[in-house]
Amino acid sequence: MESGIAAPTRRQLLSAIARVGGTAALYGAMTSLGHAAETQFHGPPNLQGARPGASVIVLGAGLAGMLAAYELTKAGYKVRILEFQNRAGGRNWSLRGGDTYTELGGATQKVGFAAGNYLNPGPWRIPHHHRTLLHYCKAFGVALEPFIQFNHSGWVHSSEAFGGKPVRFNAAAADFEGNIAELLAKSINAKALDEAVTQEDRDKLLEALKGWGMLDKDYKYAAGLKASSHRGYERPPGGGVNGAPIPSKDLYALHDVLDPQVWTSMAFFMGHEMQTTMFQPVGGMDMIGKAFARQVADLITYGAKVSKIAQDDKGVTVTYADVATGKVADAKADWCVCTIPLGILGQLDVQVSDEMMAAIKAVPYSGQVKIGLEMKRRFWEEDDFIYGGHSFTDQEIGLISYPNNNFFKDGPAVLLGAFARDLGAYRLSGLTPEQRIEAALAQGSVIHPGSYRKEFVTGASVAWSRVPWTLGCCARWSDEVRAQHYQTLVGMDRRIVLAGEHASYVGCWMEGALLSSIDAITRLHKRALEA
């Protein structure tokens, strides 16, 4: 530390880096300083001593509902699950050849994928730090395999950069990092950083930028073997007479690599939930839902459409109709765990406080669109040497994600031809399923112009805003709405407690659903013992 100068705080150092290096440099620094936290799992709940005869009705056989039923049954409660669909798992769902799916508006798709191929319309990957889900996958015998999240060989496409042509992620990212490193190095040498940063730290940062940003001895980012070691070569290293590598000749222009599509693609992998290692179930995401369902199979009543949830000081009464026959019945229990998505729940006759109903109706749901495209062969592997991972685009489809199983196999395979969000999802969800497939083929052909249409066999799509049993993909809390309503939503309303990804800070993930379920049943059990 320099004499008479206090060392900067982390906030001051990060602020200085942000001013000079911008968002990307700030992301890198924050990652290095370790500002991420793991999910809050400390093992399965230890619930014991349920009162004899105590009962709970669980609404929804998604993961949150089935976990609640499983653990409450172990604790001694008599449990029953009511599920609207004819399958368990909720958004933990895979579409396979032979499946039929009808969305709001009546459009029906008959999935034509070859045997063994599937589309995961909902969750499709599991972060390594989602410990709750990983615990129960192991406990219930769900085999997992790696999900290739980060692939340098994927494509980045922006209609506003690189002449509108896709470029390899590694080259775009390397040139972005190199240019930012050069600019930051110039600022350091010009003493443009906050004077509170010590000389020792400046020297360390310059050395780091030279290595991370592939700068030469003059702190310049230039074409050559050093840059090519990150961005790729004109001719890669080989053997024999022509073994010497030839560096890539032309770096991308600063204007192009500063395009938002480049840095947002890079930042995507820095998100805490998106960091490697990630996993997927062998055989499709619904293997998790099926494994949970095996634990509580005797407790589930399928085809039960709930219309009313009433409660008094003695218990809860749920009115539901059998979907197949229309016959109406009541189910009674002492307590209720409700995992029905909020967009549906807010339309039912639910006897809760005005504050709870206001919270239920305050949370909007996102409307992502996923499109699975089956191709005759794995051309992304055979032609482009892409094995798993993603390619990003600023078109409506958002990205293309390549399958992470059956590498090098012959025969048809399904890639994710769209994971559309926001405006792109809004536009695609307004199309028919056939029109969505056409849009995915047209936009995907920009990334794979010689193969996409030629190799296409069949496809399937799910627009979550049109899914009848959720009316959306997942809850999207704003800071303001969460501050006003979250604690009410997760609190017990006399004999009813809510659970699901919407009742967590890990929204849109299975982990959030499971953590909320554990929290809900723990508080329910405590309340039941006190009653």
Tell me the pLDDT tens digit for each residue of 17-76: 444 443 334 334 433 443 334 568 888 999 999 999 999 999 999 999 999 999 999 999
Report the CATH number that the domain containing residue 185 is assigned in CATH: 1.20.1440.240
Are 356 and 479 in a shared domain?
yes
Are 355 and 484 in a shared domain?
yes
**Rounded distance, CA 315 to CA 336, Å?**
9
Are 442 and 380 in a shared domain?
yes
Are 102 and 175 in a shared domain?
no
Are 371 and 222 in a shared domain?
no
Contact 98, 111 (CB under 8 A): yes
**Rounded distance, CA 408 to CA 212, Å?**
33
pTM exceeds 0.85: yes
Q: Which domain holds residue 177?
A: 10-35+170-261
Are 195 and 242 in a shared domain?
yes
Q: SS3 of 427, please? A: helix
**Rounded distance, CA 214 to CA 229, Å?**
9
- State how far the alpha carbon of 505 is from the alpha carbons of 19, 30, 476, 479, 508, in Å: 30, 21, 10, 11, 9
Cis-peptide into 277, omega within 30 deg: yes
pLDDT of residue 517: 97
Residue 523 within any structural domain of the chain: yes
Going along 250-293, which residue ranges are E strands?
A: 278-281
Are 240 and 301 in a shared domain?
no
Residue 494 within any structural domain of the chain: yes
Contact 134, 269 (CB under 8 A): no
> What's the order of all strands across the beta sheet hosting 316-322?
328-333, 316-322, 304-311, 349-350
Residue 40 within any structural domain of the chain: no
Going along 226-315, which residue ranges are E strands?
A: 233-235, 246-247, 278-281, 300-301, 304-311
Are 83 and 108 in a shared domain?
no
pLDDT of residue 194: 66
Paired tokens of 432: 């028919």
Count Cβ neighbours within 10 Å for each residue of 369-399 and write b for 16 or more, e otherwise.
bbbbbbbebbbbbeebebbbbbbbbbbbbbb
Strand pairing category for 55-59 and 335-338? parallel
- State how far the alpha carbon of 268 is from the alpha carbons of 14, 41, 160, 260, 476, in Å: 20, 25, 19, 12, 18
**Rounded distance, CA 314 to CA 335, Å?**
9
Which distant-in-sequence residues (6+ apart) come within 8 Å of 98 by Cβ? 110, 111
Contact 165, 75 (CB under 8 A): no
**Rounded distance, CA 41 to CA 59, Å?**
24
Residue 457 within any structural domain of the chain: yes
Query: How many domains in the chain?
Result: 3
Count of residues in the chain: 531
DSSP letter at 51? P
pLDDT of residue 268: 81
Contact 404, 154 (CB under 8 A): no
Are 380 and 339 in a shared domain?
no
Report the CATH number that the domain containing residue 480 is assigned in CATH: 3.50.50.60
pLDDT of residue 276: 84
Are 460 and 479 in a shared domain?
no
The dihedral built from the CA positions of residue 121, 127, 131 and 137, taken in this order, carries a sign that is: positive
Residue 137 within any structural domain of the chain: no
**Rounded distance, CA 495 to CA 498, Å?**
10
Q: What angle in degrees, to the nearest 10, is found between the helix axes of 169-189 and 199-212?
A: 150
pLDDT of residue 249: 86
Report the CATH number that the domain containing residue 401 is assigned in CATH: 3.90.660.10
Are 61 and 107 in a shared domain?
no
Residue 404 within any structural domain of the chain: yes
Q: Residue by residue, what is the 3-state secondary structure of 114-152?
A: CCCCEECCCCCCEECCCHHHHHHHHHCCCCEEEECCCCC
Q: pLDDT tens across 384-400, in order? A: 999 999 999 999 999 99
Residue 131 within any structural domain of the chain: no
Residue 150 within any structural domain of the chain: no
- Alpha carbon dihedral 116, 118, 123, 127, in 10-degree steps, equals 40
* Residue pLDDT tens, the chain, 531 long: 333 445 555 445 545 544 444 333 433 443 344 333 456 888 899 999 999 999 999 999 999 999 999 999 999 999 999 999 999 999 999 999 999 999 999 999 999 999 999 999 999 999 999 999 999 999 999 999 999 998 999 999 999 999 999 999 999 999 999 998 898 888 888 877 766 678 888 888 888 888 888 899 998 999 999 998 889 999 988 888 898 999 998 899 989 989 988 888 888 887 877 888 999 999 999 999 999 999 999 999 999 999 999 999 999 999 999 999 999 999 999 999 999 999 999 999 999 999 999 999 999 999 999 999 999 999 999 999 999 999 999 999 999 999 999 999 999 999 999 999 999 999 999 999 999 999 999 999 999 999 999 999 999 999 999 999 999 999 999 999 999 999 999 999 999 999 999 999 999 999 999 999 999 999 999 999 998
Are 232 and 302 in a shared domain?
no
